[in-house]
Structure 1
Amino acid sequence: MYANYQELYMKKLTLIISCLLIASQSFAQLPNAKTTGRVTIKGTVIDFDTKEPLEYATVVVKPLNGDPITGDITNSKGHFNIEITPGNYDISIEFISFKPYELKNVAIVKSLNLGVIELAINAEALDEVEIVAEKSTVEIRLDKKIYNVGKDMTVKGGTASDVLDNVPSVTVDVDGTVSLRGSENVRILINGKPSSMVGLSGTDALRQLPADAIEKVEVITSPSARYEAEGTGGILNIVLRKGKAQGFNASVTATAGIPDNLGGSVNLNYRIKKFNFFTNTAYSYTNSPGNSYNNATYFNEFDEISSYRNEKTDYDRSGGRFNTRLGLEYFLTDKSSLTGTFYYRESDRNNISTNYTSEFDASKLLTRKSIRINDKDDVNKNIEYSLNYTHDFNDSGHNLSFDFQYNNDDENEFTFITDYDTYPSFLERNPERTTTVESDSEFTLKGDYVLPIGENAQFEAGFNLNLNEIDSDFLVQDYDPDSGDFINNPDFTNSLVFEQNIYAFYTQYGSKINKFSYLLGLRSETTDRSIQLLGDNTDNQKTWTELFPTVNVGIEFSETESLTVGYNRRLRRPRHFYLNPFETRTSETTIRKGNINLDPTYTGSFDIGYLKRWSKFTLNSSVYYSHSTNNIEWIQTEETRDVNGLPTIVIVRSPVNLSTQDRYGFEFTANYNPFKWWKLSQSFNFFRATTEGDYEGVNYDADNISWFTRFNSTVTLPGEIDWQTRAMYMGPSQNAQTKRLGIVSINLAFSKDLLKEKATISFNVSDLLNSRKRISETTTETTFSEGEFQYRQRQFLLNFTYRFNQKKKRERSQGNDGDGGEEMF
């Protein structure tokens, strides 16, 4: 990388110096320039995106007869003018970080005006320069889309969940569950690998990873064989920032918000000779109040109302979290490097949920009121070590890499539960306490080999070894008034040891023939899964081997129009909390538990994508279809249990391999830049899921049609104040038992650069209308319930960033903003 860095700038510096000397010589000979037979070459060089002139672009004119090279440098208006003798020439125009413009073997017999020449940004060259990117773009590749986080003011001071919720094709619901094209089974990777940064619970971990640490998100809807087969909906790969620039550069960020959100972060890197040190460190304290309610109506065997129960819960979540990521890159030679990374995260959170319950008879007369308080302390520690070795055999892409990673995630939860009646009389019940101790250790070793064949073909092969063990102890203790001590409750206490080892091999071959590209791959994965429960002597072990083919093809009709087609087969392995049959204790009448007998879901998917760019407008669209077997669904059943000495209907939700499912839909993202100061983007995703399945004599067939859309507007106001508005609407959806209403959410943000662009201050409002709530209705044979859940209330954030020795690239008003470039292979 260091060699490439030097090569890039030495090349540019040589061109500039050469052209300066050429220009000086030309001016020195100016009196003789009118010699008979001399002709001129002239033109204007501008930025393709901004349409502004490029000053100091180098123009090189090389005679093919061996005469000395001549050239010029553009002036402040982008103009150049060169005098030559008639003949055949190669002409090239270059500017740092832009793609060169070349004309080969041009016969010039008279003066030539090349007119306006537009140079486009070269993303690969930009990788060699440390620039604080401000624009958010989506690059189109044959097997993925890359969302560069860029200058997205609405996520300043936020988390990885906020970033993902702004990525096209992705939604994050009020629980924090991430969906890709409406499918919740999406595999989330960090820097291309499973990581403790996602942790035991991906939802909570993503809310702890700072947005400022993220460079880009890769949306992989048609994964090639290089990627693991997990995730039937696709893959989201979060790529973290790693500085590359020479010397020292850094940025410091401070955040303050209401409800309480206080924090700061530091991003820095220091590169000298063969070493590059980089880090991202952050601390924050947050308070996230939320609320929910669930009103249930119960029916008897004659389909008559027998009773009502209304539950309301207030959530008070607060706590601090500390994240640090340290990395050291050592350049062994010009062709090989070794990178070591250490990641540590610690959080200490307190979550108090207060459940208010009111019970009524069939005539809606109040019969009982009670309060149940869960006071939970949650301490989480994550440690991750990773080591990467990369060797480039040459500059054409022939390389070999190995990745080693070990991570450990320890999570300790202690909950104290109090329960008492307030009507018809006050009655305080014995308290209860629960303790959960979970430890997740994971070892990963992978290798990838890439061999270019000729100029347009490439062969790849690799392996992946993943060893994962999770120990989970769940202890429930009831207070014994006679002894004054807490004693274990064996009905709910359990211990689970989950082991899952995956052995994978893959190979793929790709080629580009004129405008046509293809990438064919095959992956084999063997899974060994073992589950041991406390007091369970049964053999809960399964082993299976599956093949996963992938096909991706593309056609470039022109530089502005392309079509891609993809097919892949993938699976969804049940995670350990889906398998653990322990029951939640937040409510005594609404319970969730796992299912130890779950099998994987298998899915085959097709995807057709179309991209078209105009001068100010870009359209990126796709149509997709998938068929799943052994589909995992959460179903709801009722049981009659003894609750506080009374027979009570308890609602139990658990996952089962319920059905087959056919899912299809279409999506598009449109970007329009009507003016230099105004950018608009709109994304829309429509999908339909048809589910067919029966469980224990109950039919759960369902036909769910839903959609979501996202609108984004960025306006530059007078005084160079940027104003961003982001609105999202998630349409209603349903399955066999539950209907969910639509959700609307609006975010606002304002940003201003200060101190000669060394600093930026921004203010944003998340969920302006305080409307980000899940409202649902559930119907079974004996109950009808309606509920509402809001994880986090409206939030106001003020963010300040100061940069040290970092160049800043201003936003470009461009016709393909939101798309970037496309790479077919």
Structure 2
Amino acid sequence: MIRKCFLLAAGILLIRMMADAQDVKGKVVDASQAPVESVTVVMQTIDSTFVDAVITDIDGSFMLKQHPDKYRLIFQHLLYQTQIKEYSGEDAGIIMMQEQDYALDEVVIKGERPQVKVENGALVYDVSVLAEKSTVSNAYESILRLPGVMEQNESISLSGAGNVTVILNGKPSSMTNDQLVNLLKNMPVSNVAKAEVMYNAPAKYRVRGAVINLVLKNTKSEEPFVRGEVGTEYMQARYANGSGHANLSFVGKKLSADILYSADYQKRIIDNDIISHHKIGDIIYDIEQYNKGERRGLTHNMRAALDYQLSENDHLNMAYTSAITPNRKAVEKSSGNFSESSNSKMGDEQMHNVNVDYTSSLGLNVGLDYTYYNYPSTQDYINKTESSEQLFLADASQTINRWNVYAGQTHNLPSDWELNYGINFTFAKDKSSQIYRPQDGSDMSGLNTCTDLKEETYNFYGGVEKSFNDNLSLSLSVAGEYYKLMNYKKWAVYPAMQLSYALSDSHIFQLGFSSDKTYPEYWTIQESVSYMNGYAMLLGNPGLRPSTDYTAELTYVLKNKYMFNVYYSYIKDLFNQLAYQSPDKLALIYQTINYDYEENYGATATIPFSVGGFWNSQITLDGSILKDVCDSFHAIRFKRTKFRGIAMMNNTFKLFSEPDIRLELNSMYVSSFIQGIYDVSPIWKIDAGLKWTFAGKKAELKLKANDLFDSFNPDTKINYKGQNLIMNQRRDSRNISVSFVYKFGGYKAKEHKSVDTSRFGF
């Protein structure tokens, strides 16, 4: 541990010594000293050469990343007189603008704001434009309206890039998917300034691959005030579900603090039918098992956060986050011609996270993140066949302690070059066990497991960015990583590149390349056996390896509106869970295994259009060819290729302006596709929503219906080299919900650094 701390201290000291001030900042006010929003601030050299341009935020503040020795600033706004001033320092101070002395009479100006822009290699979307053309009311829903973004089982993916990481204000999230979704659903869309989509994120973001960065609005105020929000939702699927939340925030000039609490009760079905033609030797056994069950639990999410502004651009953030689910329970009963079984699992799950983050005006960012996760559970299992009976209790437990320390530095260099570099170290310890207690007199001691895993990840990164002119920009970065899990050790290098070229304002091209590594969940690498019913079991895989993927893509943006994308990805050692009929016994084995590789190439087109001010629509089409290759899947080799097509159409109809009532009608179709030896059936769905905003936009009543025709549950078949199986899964895809939200005190939800527990649990 001393060696680790020394490495961290040395890295931080080196970064700090090389730090250097670099930004030009200031604030624009009117004659009454009130801040002026949306002022265009143009930077020029003294000889009138364009350097950069920004727009003031809600507090009238602006920041320019360029810093010539001498420069000119031009302040422009339709309602104010233009101001031109020359400077030589970093602080432009307070600029007061005078109102125009003319009035416009009966003049109507109509125009359409661009849907997408390219800034520093990222596709940038004005979220307010997306929100005003739809019924979205929170940050999560705004993400789903971005071109190419898809959702399935509340998992977000991006066409051409697969899984995508959501970060807030340029900082990576360490939340589980469920916790992140909950946070974004409780964040009003009015608090999001813009969304930046990066198919190939630079290494400075400390995440690799595709990224969606939500840039939130300023949360400081000259006059302190308290604000808040309360809301509730009722959802009816097969069972009734409900949630409620309350947020309270204090916002001041230097200090802001917030407290969040939400309770979410979920009760969902887990039905799964298995029709198996199981071959042992020359005999085929026809097995039918029908599994019906449910999962339920009440999750308490709590958060307390503090943000203190030490000086103009020095911030200290501290946060505590927890998610506690007592008495989480899953019950499944299986009946059929092979066995009758009952499987009940109950446990108490909890996660606690503490994060401290410091950002300096000198471009330095350092932080410490600690997560504790614990999930003890007990399984009560009964299985009966014509010739035998099996009864046991199984006590399982997983306890994880994880530390993450990081530091990063950014410098602006001459000739518009930017240099960034940093370190990111993670140390994790996972202690898991599974102890069987047979109730039928049998001996199951051979299945007992107790593991103590230690994982270390050392990451060093560096990158450069350059804007050659208004039309051409380049970003290059590389991350070196040393990974150690018990006896497995691996050095790896991950390059990333992004090149943007604007032929004109109407024709923008973007070429990118990235690489990444994905690690399996901790429980999948345990040497464990879990019984699901009398026929199916789940095996761990201690030999499971991380996967490495390489992605290249070319994007064309037409008229800041229409998007076309071609892409290619190659994933070495892709890991996935597949089912396998044992050749030695009547058992269906689920296990996560490594493919040799997966290859995917395709194209995406996004076409938005509108009809007057009544109908706004967006069509997304994606087609790709997928190839899965594995030489050693239980002595079966597969090499399979399949085309997959996706079509989405989102529509919003503005029924009334006063009162503000909007109707949304969305549809999605996915053609049949493959997953290893699986053949997955086509799926489609239609969603509808109605939103009424009233009480001065402080109150919102929303009615939603998802998957109206209950058609988004795929059927899976296997008929490959002796494996013959049909699996039909039924989830709560169809549901109807009604929600109400009320904001008071001018509430805008505050950004939160989230907690990554994506590899916890089992």
Equivalent position SS for 2:544: coil
Q: Aligned residue for 2:755?
A: none
Q: Contact 2:392/2:436 (CA < 8 Å) preserved in 1?
A: yes
Q: Aligned residue for 2:80?
A: 58
Q: Aligned residue for 1:10?
A: 29
Establish whether residue 225 from structure 1 lines up as the match of residue 225 from structure 2: no
Equivalent position SS for 2:266: strand
Normalised by the length of structure 1, the TM-score is: 0.72
Q: Aligned residue for 1:384?
A: 353
- The counterpart of 2:368, out of the listed 398, 404, 415, is 404
Establish whether residue 463 from structure 1 lines up as the match of residue 423 from structure 2: yes
Establish whether residue 716 from structure 1 lines up as the match of residue 646 from structure 2: no
Q: Aligned residue for 2:682?
A: 742
Q: Closer, same or farther in 2 for the Cα pair 1:558/1:240, shift >3 Å?
A: closer
Deviation at 1:559, TM superposition (A): 2.9
Deviation at 1:761, TM superposition (A): 0.7
Establish whether residue 631 from structure 1 lines up as the match of residue 574 from structure 2: yes
- The counterpart of 2:478, out of the listed 494, 499, 522, is 522
- Gaps of at least 5 residues in structure 2 are 1-22, 37-75, 87-96, 749-762
Establish whether residue 495 from structure 1 lines up as the match of residue 450 from structure 2: yes
Q: Closer, same or farther in 2 for the Cα pair 1:420/1:214, shift >3 Å?
A: farther
- 1:630-667 alpha-carbon deviations (Å, 9 max, x no partner): 333445443356xxxxxx42122323333133221111
Q: Closer, same or farther in 2 for the Cα pair 1:797/1:71, shift >3 Å?
A: closer
Establish whether residue 567 from structure 1 lines up as the match of residue 541 from structure 2: no
Equivalent position SS for 2:204: coil
Distance between the aligned counterparts of 2:303 and 2:697, measured in 1? 27
Distance between the aligned counterparts of 1:164 and 1:578, measured in 2? 30
Amino acid at match of 1:520: L
- 1:344-384 alpha-carbon deviations (Å, 9 max, x no partner): 1111354443333322xxxxxxxx5x431222223211111
Looking at CA atoms only, which structure, 1 or 2, has the larger radius of gyration? Answer: 1
1:402-551 superposed matches below 5 A: 402-420=366-384, 429-454=389-414, 456-480=416-440, 489-514=444-469, 515-530=471-486, 541-551=487-497
Equivalent position SS for 1:226: helix
Deviation at 1:507, TM superposition (A): 1.2
- The counterpart of 1:685, out of the listed 614, 617, 622, is 622
> Which has the larger displacement, 378-387 or 587-596?
587-596
Distance between the aligned counterparts of 2:112 and 2:724, measured in 1? 63
Aligned pairs, number = 663
Establish whether residue 324 from structure 1 lines up as the match of residue 302 from structure 2: yes
Q: Aligned residue for 1:33?
A: none
Q: Contact 2:166/2:212 (CA < 8 Å) preserved in 1?
A: yes
Q: Closer, same or farther in 2 for the Cα pair 1:272/1:632, shift >3 Å?
A: closer
Deviation at 1:290, TM superposition (A): 3.8
Establish whether residue 285 from structure 1 lines up as the match of residue 265 from structure 2: yes
Establish whether residue 354 from structure 1 lines up as the match of residue 292 from structure 2: no
Q: Aligned residue for 1:764?
A: 704
Q: Aligned residue for 1:39?
A: none
Equivalent position SS for 2:333: strand
- 1:419-469 alpha-carbon deviations (Å, 9 max, x no partner): 345xx7xx9945322222112222111112111124732111111111122
Distance between the aligned counterparts of 2:606 and 2:535, measured in 1? 44
Establish whether residue 265 from structure 1 lines up as the match of residue 211 from structure 2: no
Deviation at 1:76, TM superposition (A): 5.9
Deviation at 1:168, TM superposition (A): 4.3
Q: Closer, same or farther in 2 for the Cα pair 1:710/1:5, shift >3 Å?
A: farther
Distance between the aligned counterparts of 1:119 and 1:792, measured in 2? 39
Deviation at 1:72, TM superposition (A): 2.1
Deviation at 1:56, TM superposition (A): 7.6
Q: Closer, same or farther in 2 for the Cα pair 1:182/1:120, shift >3 Å?
A: closer
Q: Closer, same or farther in 2 for the Cα pair 1:63/1:520, shift >3 Å?
A: closer
Deviation at 1:739, TM superposition (A): 0.2
Q: Closer, same or farther in 2 for the Cα pair 1:186/1:702, shift >3 Å?
A: farther
Q: Closer, same or farther in 2 for the Cα pair 1:745/1:300, shift >3 Å?
A: same
Amino acid at match of 1:513: F
Distance between the aligned counterparts of 2:216 and 2:377, measured in 1? 29
- 1:610-636 alpha-carbon deviations (Å, 9 max, x no partner): 11226xxx2122111122333334454
Establish whether residue 212 from structure 1 lines up as the match of residue 186 from structure 2: yes
Distance between the aligned counterparts of 2:530 and 2:217, measured in 1? 38
- The counterpart of 1:619, out of the listed 552, 559, 562, is 562
Amino acid at match of 1:704: K
Equivalent position SS for 1:598: coil
| CA-atom RMSD in angstroms | 3.8
Equivalent position SS for 1:491: helix
- 1:672-724 alpha-carbon deviations (Å, 9 max, x no partner): 22222321112222222223331165321111321322211111113421111
Q: Closer, same or farther in 2 for the Cα pair 1:355/1:205, shift >3 Å?
A: farther
- 1:770-824 alpha-carbon deviations (Å, 9 max, x no partner): 222121101244441112112324222111111113289xxxxxxxxxxxxxxxx
Equivalent position SS for 2:445: coil
- 1:576-600 alpha-carbon deviations (Å, 9 max, x no partner): 2331231231123222323212233
1:160-239 superposed matches below 5 A: 168-174=147-153, 179-181=157-159, 197-198=175-176, 202=177, 205=179, 211-213=185-187, 219-228=197-206, 234-235=210-211
- 1:513-545 alpha-carbon deviations (Å, 9 max, x no partner): 121100111211111111xxxxxxxxxx12121
- 1:541-569 alpha-carbon deviations (Å, 9 max, x no partner): 12121221211110122334311111122
Equivalent position SS for 1:756: coil
Equivalent position SS for 1:772: coil
Q: Closer, same or farther in 2 for the Cα pair 1:434/1:221, shift >3 Å?
A: farther
Q: Closer, same or farther in 2 for the Cα pair 1:185/1:803, shift >3 Å?
A: closer
Q: Closer, same or farther in 2 for the Cα pair 1:475/1:762, shift >3 Å?
A: same
Amino acid at match of 2:356: L
- Gaps of at least 5 residues in structure 1 are 18-53, 80-114, 122-136, 360-367, 394-398, 482-486, 531-540, 642-647, 809-825
1:658-697 superposed matches below 5 A: 658-695=595-632, 697=635
